């Protein structure tokens, strides 16, 4: 199996599986529960997460069950403690935004809030110029993904954050795709909330995290009690922290092999996002003449797994249309996301299989 859909889910690392298979089902708050190994792993794992995100020591960390849980908590507390009191009932998000943010916004539209989805430029970026054009004094919070899971394009968070800071808008950033791909320093960024899910960096499912800046400490968000998941997430964070240089160099190199190989074998192939700053593991491209859904199905029959969106993210076709891509081309677009487990031999084999499958339609 050649798995190239690592922004939908990643394979839990063998070390994570081994560690959390211990007897961690006991309640950690029970009076008889006193396992020094568990305490040590928790402290080490939490340190890994702080190191990986570059969060300051004053940043509050809350355990969640994933991005949807984090979004629900952020919007709930923002509505109760900030948005409602100040009368800022507009919730902003880019038009390309994912399901968890959209669901959270839609739930508050039922109680008088207004969801306002902002356009993006031809690269899928939300720029300060776009924010200026669509700004309203009623804006209470802006929510967005740091990086697009299908195109890999990274949003200019520094500029967006400064804009929000000047305008008094809370900024909530979902970083599951960005997390463990590139170095970050949350402590130095004007971000109020930052969340992620462990299952996108080889950790267990059903666990994630939410960081709050010190000034947001009044937000009382109760952590969930998922001891195995929390330990597994900390272990995964440590592993990707060790591999970060490899993700920036080796994985980016493998993507270059992948894209150059496809370009040599398939005439007319078109890549998206290559002109923008993007994640080192992501490639988005269109093979004219074959529908993305059908191509994905044919490749899966040959044990090559790619994606055209859906699930966590909007379908790629709709995202590309919002970026001004030709509708026919948008229907043919697919995406791949490599991981630290992806080998060069898998990349070269995937190139051959994609080329052979596409060749049926030439």
- Per-residue confidence (pLDDT) for residue 361, from 0 to 100: 57
Percent of the chain at pLDDT exceeding 90: 67
pLDDT score recorded for residue 313: 79
Percent of the chain whose pLDDT exceeds 70: 92
At residue 317 the predicted structure's pLDDT band, cuts being 50, 70 and 90, is very high
Could you tell me which of 175, 223, 225, 219 has the C-alpha nearest to residue 55?
175
Are 171 and 160 within 8 A, CB to CB? yes
pLDDT band per the 50, 70, 90 thresholds, residue 141: very high
* Residue 24: predicted pLDDT: 58
Dihedral sign, CA of 113, 115, 116, 118? Answer: positive
Please report where in the chains the tokens 């009076």 appear, as a residue.
31
Q: Residue 340: CB partners within 8 Å, gap ≥ 6?
A: 202, 239, 240, 243, 246, 247, 251
Phi, psi of 72 (to 5 degrees): -60, -40
Under the banding of pLDDT at 50, 70 and 90, the label for residue 198 is very high
* 237 pLDDT tier (thresholds 50, 70, 90): very high
CATH numeric code, 14-240: 3.40.640.10
Residue listed under structure tokens 């998922």: 226
Rg (CA), the chain: 21
240-259 tens-digit pLDDT: 888 888 778 889 999 999 99
pLDDT band at 33 (very low <50, low <70, confident <90, very high): low
Report residue 106 as tokens.
């839609």
Residue 326 has pLDDT above 60, yes or no: yes
Say how many C-beta atoms besides its own lie within 10 A of residue 249's C-beta: 11
Average pLDDT value over all residues in the chain: 89
d(CA 324, CA 139): 27
Question: What is the structure's pLDDT at 211?
Answer: 94
E-strand ranges in 126-226 read 139-145, 170-174, 193-197, 208-212
Q: How far lies 46's CA from each of 61, 73, 145, in Å?
A: 9, 21, 23
- Res 91 pLDDT > 90: yes
Task: Tell me the average pLDDT across 136-149.
Answer: 95
**Angstrom distance (rounded) from CA 147 to CA 142:** 15
Report domain 2-8+243-359's class. alpha beta
- Per-residue pLDDT at 40 exceeds 70: yes
Nearest CA among 141, 68, 70 for reference residue 100: 68
Task: Please work out, in degrees rounded to the nearest 5, the angle formed at the alpha carbon of residue 177 by the alpha carbons of 172 and 180.
Answer: 105
Average pLDDT over residues 347-359: 90
pLDDT, one tens digit per residue, over 211-230 is: 998 655 555 555 556 788 88
170-174 and 193-197: which strand pairing? parallel
For residue 30, is it left (φ>0), alpha (ψ between -120 and 50) or beta?
Answer: beta
Q: pLDDT at position 57, please?
A: 81
- The reply to whether 2-8+243-359 and 14-240 are identical in fold is no
DSSP character string of 115-179: EEEEP--TTS---HHHHHHH--TTEEEEEEESB-TTT-BBP-HHHHHHHHHHHT-EEEEE-TTTT
Length of the chain: 362
Instruction: Output 163 or 184, whichever has higher pLDDT.
Output: 163
Tokens of 233: 């997430």
**Domain segments of the chain: what residues?**
2-8+243-359, 14-240
For residues 122-131, give the mean pLDDT.
96
């Amino acid at each position: 199996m050649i798995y190239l859909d690592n922004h939908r889910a990643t394979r839990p690392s063998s070390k994570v599986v081994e560690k959390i298979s211990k007897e961690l089902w006991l309640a950690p708050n029970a009076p008889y529960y006193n396992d020094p190994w568990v305490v040590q792993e928790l402290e080490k794992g939490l340190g890994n997460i702080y190191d990986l995100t570059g969060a300051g020591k004053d940043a509050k960390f809350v355990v969640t069950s994933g991005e949807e849980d984090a979004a629900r908590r952020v919007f709930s507390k923002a509505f109760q403690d900030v948005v409602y009191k100040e009368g800022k009932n507009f919730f902003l998000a880019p038009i390309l935004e994912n399901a968890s943010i959209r669901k959270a916004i839609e739930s508050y539209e039922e109680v008088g809030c207004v969801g306002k989805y902002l356009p993006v430029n031809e690269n899928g970026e939300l720029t300060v110029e776009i924010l200026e054009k669509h700004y309203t004094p009623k804006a209470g919070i802006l929510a967005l993904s740091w990086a697009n899971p299908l195109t890999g394009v990274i949003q200019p968070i520094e500029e967006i954050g400064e804009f929000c800071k000047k305008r008094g808008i809370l900024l909530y950033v979902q970083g599951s795709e960005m997390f463990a791909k590139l170095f970050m320093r949350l402590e130095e960024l004007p971000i109020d909330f930052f969340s992620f899910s462990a299952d996108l960096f080889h950790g267990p499912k059903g666990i994630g995290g939410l960081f709050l800046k010190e000034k947001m400490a009044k937000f009382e968000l109760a952590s969930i009690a998922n001891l195995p998941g929390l330990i597994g997430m900390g272990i995964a964070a440590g592993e990707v922290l060790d591999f970060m240089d490899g993700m920036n160099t080796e994985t980016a190199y493998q993507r270059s092999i992948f894209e150059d190989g496809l370009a040599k074998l398939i005439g007319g192939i078109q890549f998206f996002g290559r002109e923008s700053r993007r994640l080192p593991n992501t490639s988005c491209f269109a093979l004219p003449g074959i529908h993305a859904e059908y191509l994905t199905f044919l490749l899966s029959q040959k044990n090559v797994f790619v994606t055209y969106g859906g699930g966590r993210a909007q379908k790629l076709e709709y995202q590309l249309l919002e970026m001004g891509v030709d509708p026919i081309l948008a229907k043919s677009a697919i995406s791949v996301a490599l991981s630290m487990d992806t080998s060069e031999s898998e990349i070269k084999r995937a190139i051959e299989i994609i080329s052979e499958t596409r060749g049926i339609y030439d």
